[in-house]
Amino acid sequence: MKATFQNELFAVFDDFLSRDALDQVWNGFREEPMQYVKSRAAVRVFRPLDGEPLAGKPIFNAPRSSGGDVPLYPSGRPIDAVVEAIEGAAGTFEPWVGRKGTDWTCFSATPFMYPMGSGLSWHRDSRDRTGSFVAYVHPEWRDSWGAELLVESAAAEGGSAANAGWGQYVTPMPNRLVVISSQARHAIKKVDLQAGENCRASIAGFFQK
């Protein structure tokens, strides 16, 4: 798997899943029971005016070192295909999320749906994570539909911890994967009115220390 774009904070990979796996994940996606993220206590990065994103149940590729009962791969859900593909390419992701076993022990995978008007405010995926991934699984995305992932550039060398105030964007193209370091401050622009009933559908996960 070769990156379409990369810098020190994130990398973009296109044609992530095979055609069959993508279709399977997307078809299964629409059967997933989902909840509004604001109704889930654990979600803290979403702000009151981020709209109404939905999330399904996460699975983990392996048991969590911090314990706790988590649903594991293989789950029998179509999302298994994403876990497999991430496992298979874990070595490629080392520059951004570190090494399996030394830096991280396991990762999650959670389906998310962002309907028109929803987005995600600026944040870092820090705390007990080395980084994250997100795979876009909707069948179509147009520029006018918005919902770009924004990634802020690193603040100038020797500068304070202040935010740089500039950076890059990634359009959520179908079957695109983005791998993001926990150092990277990022946000999702809201899904535009022009998207109508088309939702931004993703499988996102975190690499846990």
Ligand X SMILES: O=C(O)CCC(=O)C(=O)O
Q: Residue 188 touches which of ligand X, Fe ion, none (CB < 5 to 8 A by kind)?
A: ligand X
Q: How far apart are CA 199 and CA 145, in angstroms?
A: 9
Q: How far is the CB of 57 from ligand X (least distance, A)?
A: 15
Nearest to 126 by CA among 181, 78, 168, 182: 182
Nearest to 79 by CA among 100, 56, 106, 113: 56
- Asked if 125 touches Fe ion (CB under 5 A), the answer is yes
- Asked if 80 touches Fe ion (CB under 5 A), the answer is no
Q: How far is the CB of 134 from ligand X (least distance, A)?
A: 4
- Asked if 182 touches ligand X (CB under 6 A), the answer is no
- Interface residue with ligand X among 134, 179, 199, 203 (CB under 6 A) is 134
Q: How far is the CB of 150 from ligand X (least distance, A)?
A: 9
Q: What are the distances in angstroms from CA 126 to CA 24, 31, 50, 130, 206?
A: 31, 31, 20, 7, 10
Nearest to 203 by CA among 82, 53, 31: 82
In the region spanning residues 138 to 177, those forming contacts with ligand X, defined by CB under 6 A, are 149
Q: How far apart are CA 106 and CA 16, in angstroms?
A: 20
Closer to ligand X by Cβ: residue 21 or 188: 188
Q: Residue 202 touches which of ligand X, Fe ion, none (CB < 5 to 8 A by kind)?
A: ligand X
- Asked if 50 touches ligand X (CB under 6 A), the answer is no
Give the CA count within 13 Å in the CB-facing half-sphere of 120. 24
- Asked if 105 touches ligand X (CB under 6 A), the answer is no
Q: How far apart are CA 112 and CA 103, in angstroms?
A: 26
- Interface residue with ligand X among 188, 195, 199, 203 (CB under 6 A) is 188
Q: Which residues bind ligand X (CB under 6 A)?
A: 120, 125, 132, 134, 149, 186, 188, 202, 204
Binding site for Fe ion (CB under 5 A): 125
